[in-house]
Amino acid sequence: MNYFISKFRIIISFALRDFSKSRFVLMFTIIGLSSAFTAVFLSRGILDGFRTTLESGAVDVIGHLIVYPQEGEDEIEKVDSLIEKIKKIDNVQALSLRNQTFVMLEYKGHVPGSYTGLGIDFKQESQTTKLPFDIVEGRFLSGKDSKEIVIGQNLADALVDLEYDGEKVPVGAKVQVITTSGQKISYKVVGILDGKTFVPNWMAYFNKDEMERIEPQTKNNQIIIKLKDENFLEETRELIQSQNPNVRVRTWHEEATYVDDMVLATQFITGSIVVLLVISVIIVTSVIIFINVYNRRRQIGILKSMGASNRFIIIIYLSEALLYSTTAFIFGFLFFMLINIKSIENPIPLLIGDFHTEFNSRDIVPLALIFVVATFGGSLFPALSAAKTRIADVLRNVI
Amino acid sequence: MEALVSIRNVFKEYVMSSQLTIPALNGISLDIIKGEFLAITGHSGSGKSTLLNLLGLLDDPTRGEIYFAGSDIHNFTEKQKVSFRLNAISFVFQFFNLIENYTAVENISFQLLLQGYSGREAKNRAREIIDFLGLSDRASFFPHELSGGQQQRVAIGRALAKDSLLILADEPTAHLDSKNGEAIIELLHDINKQFNRTIVLVTHEKEEARHSDRNIMMRDGKVVNIVNVQK
């Protein structure tokens, strides 16, 4: 054991001396590799941040779980007793009963199309989703005046003209709602809402009672549930479903499939960047170790003449590569953390929400392992070529 | 007298191309006696360094056998060859060949660490050798901070550090002035006598061979004369 520790110490000591010999080269190598490592962490941070932005955007609007009536039914059966049962589940934090239907809106004679209308209870909704707090102009529904309406900002824009130019229906304006029965009812726009995702910005929001009055067939057709711990999403869904076979319980994943699609697309892009960076790390490591081996062939020959084995020579250069990548990994990680802190302090306002990078501690070990493998991969071939150095060639000054 | 090394009908040819083969050694046979100071002299291209490389397992003969303490060393496996270089022989080169990132004392202790000595043992033994070489005040100097003569002393110290039976010195004074050259030859003789090490010195300076036990003269890859020096 002592023998191996002693050998290990010589190898590390030798590799360290070699590693730190040219400070200029060392500095540039570390900067180059650190940049690659920072970029890898950043790619992961962007992906995680983007995912969070999309996911929280969806959850903030539709909660974690959504309960619908059975297929073919308009209304959730025995909704009051169902709500009582759901409220008793430990993992349920809050819920909101909604009415959802399609309505047509008309503004100054312009009818852009049919959109989702949502009847909501302000009190329940404010405990379950962030919709009541996403108002960008005016205010949210008060619950007192049945003839008020809030419009998603994309819909507010579309009501003016087809061009998406930011010109919206002003707060205070009157819009006509055409119900499924063809009735035209005038409502006052009290607020414009930006839900930071696509769906809520194309919706019209009514007081729940008013929606029930104009579209009675849509009464109580949706319960939005906010959970305390999302990690038990599936378990909670199964529990509600098993207790109430007469309803359909869906997760926000199933409702907002666009989130997974967009994350997948981003994952492909960031994954490709990571793969390319890993390849560049392999190549850079390989070139650096090749240069080191080329410059130190005489020294390698001397070591071999002193009795160093091929394995010893190989391990020296693998260790040297590992020193480069470990140092660069640490610097790269620290630099990423700096960027991450700045990004959290200064999030970028996007249409889909405020974006900032994220650090996931679970990324460290797999990324470190990838780089250890990449480093070994890159340095193995030059290390093998170092071991093949012929002592006689060194002594004859052929090399 | 017991032969430490027996060289039997050894040839070495360098194949430059399919039509050009350069013979370096032409059927050399020779015994090296345990504990002797053997000088090999000859002009450039006479084959003396080639012979030294074969003795040190740095190169393989085209044919013939070389026995070291009874074993045909050129039939060794790679692992045995490494062990042989590590433990049985030491080299002193004309270009000193010290490890440039290591100080004088570290160059010596590194050899000992390679052999499996503990850090403390290696350090202590290296210190003793540095003192023996008269380089105590230069122990922590790097090779580029030492003169040629001092560097060659450290190289000899490295060879002395391991308890090898044979020290192979390939023109160790070639890059030194005459005063330093003489001092180095004197040091090798001291080691030969004091530590009973067998030394093979390759040189083209006849003067350096004068004090050896035997002087082998080579020409065109052959031994042309063996002189037993009377002391």
Name the CA dihedral angle for B141, B142, B148, B152, rounded to a multiple of 10 degrees. Answer: 90
* Chain B positions in Cβ-Cβ contact with residue A391 (cut-off 8 Å): 58-59
Those of residues 267-326 in A touching chain B at CB distance below 8 A are 298-299, 301-310, 312
Nearest to A21 among B56, B101, B110 (CB): B101
Query: Which segments of A109-233 are extended strands (E)?
Result: 114-120, 135-138, 148-152, 174-178, 184-193, 203-207, 222-227
| pLDDT tens readout for residues B71-110 | 888 888 889 999 999 999 999 988 888 988 899 999 999 9
Note the pLDDT of residue A397. 63
Rounded Cα gap, residues A395 and B15, in angstroms:
18
Q: Which two three-digit tokens encode residue B109?
A: 């202790």
Note the pLDDT of residue B150. 93
CB burial class (10 A; 0-12, 13-18, 19+) of residue A319?
buried
User: Under an 8 A CB cutoff, do A10 and B99 touch?
Assistant: no
The residue of B85, B94, B112, B164 whose CB has the most chain A CBs within 10 angstroms, and thus the best one to mutate to test that interface, is B85
Taking the model in full, what pTM does it have? 0.76
Residue reference for tokens 């190898």: A11
Q: How far is CA B133 from the centre of its chain?
A: 17
- Amino acid B225 reads N
Rounded Cα gap, residues A118 and A126, in angstroms:
14
Name the CA dihedral angle for B208, B32, B63, B86, rounded to a multiple of 10 degrees. Answer: -90
* Chain A positions in Cβ-Cβ contact with residue B58 (cut-off 8 Å): 305, 391-392, 395
- Our CA-based measurement puts residue A397 at a distance from the nearest CA of chain B, in whole angstroms, of 10
User: Under an 8 A CB cutoff, do A17 and B101 touch?
Assistant: yes
Nearest to B82 among A17, A301, A309 (CB): A309
DSSP readout, A202-257? GEEEEEHHHHHHH-GGGTT-EEEEEES-GGGHHHHHHHHHHH-TTEEEEEHHHH-H
Chain B residues within 8 angstroms (CB to CB) of chain A: 49, 53, 56, 58-59, 78-79, 82-83, 85-87, 91, 93, 95, 97-102, 110-111, 113-119, 158, 162, 170
User: Under an 8 A CB cutoff, do B116 and A6 touch?
Assistant: yes
Nearest to A305 among B58, B118, B162 (CB): B58
Count interface pairs A-B at CB distance under 8 A. Answer: 70
One digit per residue, the tens of pLDDT, for chain B of length 231 reads 788 999 999 999 988 888 888 889 999 999 999 999 999 999 888 998 899 989 988 888 999 999 998 888 888 888 999 999 999 999 998 888 898 889 999 999 999 988 888 888 899 999 999 999 999 999 999 999 999 999 999 999 999 998 888 999 998 888 888 888 888 999 999 999 999 999 999 988 888 888 889 999 999 999 998 888 755
List chain A residues with pLDDT less than 50: none
- Our CA-based measurement puts residue B124 at a distance from the nearest CA of chain A, in whole angstroms, of 16
> Torsions phi, psi of B195, nearest 5?
-110, 5
Using a CB–CB cutoff of 8 Å, tell me whether A12 touches chain B.
no
